[in-house]
Structure 1
């Protein structure tokens, strides 16, 4: 009695090696490069957006940290309390000298505003047209406390009665002063109140104290004698030992105004920059949501492409099934194609997003920072989207029987 031959497909299934699976996926992508490129475009945009919205805030944060490291986070700002319905109690005239006596304080400087004092290029300009520049009197160790770089010239001498003024960066721009030497060899002149002042310095932008950028700074004695300054500071800035900054902050109100410590507030200018960074982070979360939407749309596009591919390749699927290919092999083939499409899109998005971050950081003069979790997360999300997008088409292709697939050819 002869043994009947085995039925086709009844023996053990041949397993596809990983290299064979990858070759099948690459073959289909290479055979339709335009379709593959368009299918991966949505994933590319989503991953690039994710990289950009994570990398740009990271670069901004690094630049901010570098600025704070150079400017120092050990500054405190002392000023009179406002609001609350209580009496308006000004800071004592010697408030800066009193704070300088605190042990950990290394330097202190005081600013007093002259709100009703106009500043003009000449007498023909209306007194109300100050170009947004405010006049302040300054006293104390200005160089060590402010740590502001000078674009040109020098800061005013607090005890000098000479009519000289130093402009912040925005103030100089608003008043049209970019050079300290006029054609006749004298410095530019400004009419402050009814007195002529010579511009002897221009500050660069001060990130830690942006209010200085729009100020015109005159000496304390000069403001008292020529501009009817009251002598009461509005703000005292001080530098203290970093490790003891909290203690200095706690005792500063009672030191500045022992009789009314509640009329004094103490803040840390670097906290404002930290709050700004939190705002940037909130916007980054919003854009990350948009990146997720872009990834979802890209995944839908890939899924649509794979479904169309299953419909177009029913003959191929039926032939492979008739020759003994298992359902799992058909499923893994289409899943591989889907994941490969999304991985290619994710790699392109990573390159595009990295270039975007580097370009923006270069334009802003920031250090370019690309967090490794963002890069790995972008590629990982592309793979996950590819697997999810290809799951249904792969399952549908695997469910086709050889007769169904070949009958529809």
Structure 2
């Protein structure tokens, strides 16, 4: 190794020692500066990780519920003279591969409904459904049971109350088996909904089957306007949607329109883009605040150490030596803060996700890049203070 190379090596070793000594001499300021970077990195990781976790949860919920539901409507409701869908609707759709459950839905009208003969009646909508519709929409029970084909064929009129309807009638959610009167028909409540699933209109309604009498001697005839909801296996929505009109109305498939949910992949991309935009914006702001903290600390350090800098320059230190020393100090503070922030951010994200019963999601590359980002932020933030330090005139400083 040449003499010149050894001298340069000694210079850089000396600069490194000066940088470490400068950080050690002011532990309070160094700690506060590093904490600023740590907070910035922690906020960055938590924000980005939380957006990825929430996006994953939203997509999972969508995949499990919305992406598996098809809604059927009558495209000729204004001019039709017959019902859009036949009574054997459930039998017809069951023959299509990928169909899990489904049923028709229509409104019979508003009726006076009372929990007892002595109670003041409430005017509530009565919705007529096929037994399979409640399963298709993901409705859940607070008590009782949902109607099925066996119950639908009983002579005893039965109904299910939506949660809001039960509250309006003063029927506790746990008291299925009570009797109500719909108009003049005594009806047994076999179930009370806790959640109406995706058919929110069920919550405030009295739900009866297609065979339940709601007027003396009459079952609810299918109206000219009705809809249907069909639940399918994940990934089969488009295929089933193409087959439904032909299976239900082979004589006039154009009568039925099927609303197909957007593909999960398309929704996932849209949700992820929106969340990422918000996350990266907040994360960038936190890093900028951390960088400003480093710059402010380094500027104060330059002002307080101007005498030391002038003395070193007068003893032969070049401008580049001073410049590199302050860059090293800023980079070291940024790196130390980033390491602490990475650990704190990951722990915070895991705690936050687990408290909601979710699985935390965070790209591992971010955990590896976070310390490098802290080092880069520290170096860039200390560039201006380092340039100011390098420009200090030793003669002027020593005279002062």
- Secondary structure of the structure 2 residue equivalent to 1:61: helix
Instruction: Note the aligned Cα RMSD (angstroms).
Output: 4.1
Instruction: Name the residue aligned to 2:127.
Output: 136
Q: 1:108 to 1:339 in 2, by over 3 A?
A: same
Instruction: Name the residue aligned to 2:145.
Output: 154
Counterpart Cα distance in 2 of 1:367 and 1:177: 38
Counterpart Cα distance in 2 of 1:177 and 1:36: 66
User: Which shows bigger deviation, 267-276 or 290-299?
Assistant: 267-276
- Secondary structure of the structure 1 residue equivalent to 2:160: strand
Q: 1:164 to 1:354 in 2, by over 3 A?
A: farther
Where structure 2 has 5 or more consecutive residues not aligned to the other structure, the ranges are: none
The answer as to whether partners of 2:182 and 2:214 remain within 8 angstroms in 1 is: no
Q: 1:213 to 1:43 in 2, by over 3 A?
A: farther
The CA deviation string for residues 238-297 of structure 1, in whole angstroms up to 9 with x for no partner, is 344656542321232344345654443223457699759835752541343233223223
Q: Deviation of residue 81 (structure 1)?
A: 4.2
- Secondary structure of the structure 1 residue equivalent to 2:212: helix
Q: 1:126 to 1:56 in 2, by over 3 A?
A: farther
- Secondary structure of the structure 2 residue equivalent to 1:396: helix
Where structure 1 has 5 or more consecutive residues not aligned to the other structure, the ranges are: 1-8
The answer as to whether partners of 2:66 and 2:261 remain within 8 angstroms in 1 is: no
Instruction: Name the residue aligned to 1:336.
Output: 328
Counterpart Cα distance in 1 of 2:80 and 2:144: 37
The answer as to whether partners of 1:156 and 1:219 remain within 8 angstroms in 2 is: yes
What is the correspondence of 1:2-401 to structure 2 with a 5 Å cutoff? Answer: 12-15=7-10, 24-40=18-34, 42-67=36-61, 73-81=67-75, 87=79, 91-94=84-87, 95-117=89-111, 124=119, 127-128=122-123, 135-141=126-132, 145-146=136-137, 149-158=140-149, 159-161=152-154, 162-167=156-161, 179-181=173-175, 187-203=177-193, 205=195, 216-222=206-212, 229-232=220-223, 234-240=226-232, 244-258=236-250, 261-268=253-260, 275=267, 278-279=270-271, 281-401=273-393
Counterpart Cα distance in 2 of 1:80 and 1:255: 15
Matched residue count: 388
User: Which shows bigger deviation, 313-322 or 213-222?
Assistant: 213-222
Q: Deviation of residue 312 (structure 1)?
A: 0.9
Q: 1:80 to 1:48 in 2, by over 3 A?
A: farther
Q: 1:104 to 1:273 in 2, by over 3 A?
A: closer
TM-score, scaled to structure 1: 0.74
The answer as to whether partners of 2:86 and 2:248 remain within 8 angstroms in 1 is: no
- Secondary structure of the structure 1 residue equivalent to 2:174: coil
Counterpart Cα distance in 2 of 1:165 and 1:277: 42
Q: 1:384 to 1:272 in 2, by over 3 A?
A: same
Counterpart Cα distance in 2 of 1:340 and 1:197: 77
- Secondary structure of the structure 2 residue equivalent to 1:250: helix
The CA deviation string for residues 87-146 of structure 1, in whole angstroms up to 9 with x for no partner, is 478622334443333355354333333452465656755635x5xxx6433324457645
Counterpart Cα distance in 1 of 2:128 and 2:196: 18
- Secondary structure of the structure 1 residue equivalent to 2:103: strand
- Secondary structure of the structure 1 residue equivalent to 2:146: coil
Q: Deviation of residue 25 (structure 1)?
A: 4.2
- Secondary structure of the structure 2 residue equivalent to 1:300: helix
Q: 1:283 to 1:307 in 2, by over 3 A?
A: same
Q: 1:193 to 1:354 in 2, by over 3 A?
A: farther
The answer as to whether partners of 1:156 and 1:217 remain within 8 angstroms in 2 is: no
- Secondary structure of the structure 1 residue equivalent to 2:361: coil
Counterpart Cα distance in 2 of 1:206 and 1:320: 77
Counterpart Cα distance in 2 of 1:215 and 1:26: 73
Counterpart Cα distance in 1 of 2:170 and 2:267: 33
- Secondary structure of the structure 2 residue equivalent to 1:58: helix
- Secondary structure of the structure 2 residue equivalent to 1:221: coil
Counterpart Cα distance in 2 of 1:135 and 1:269: 28
The answer as to whether partners of 1:13 and 1:324 remain within 8 angstroms in 2 is: no
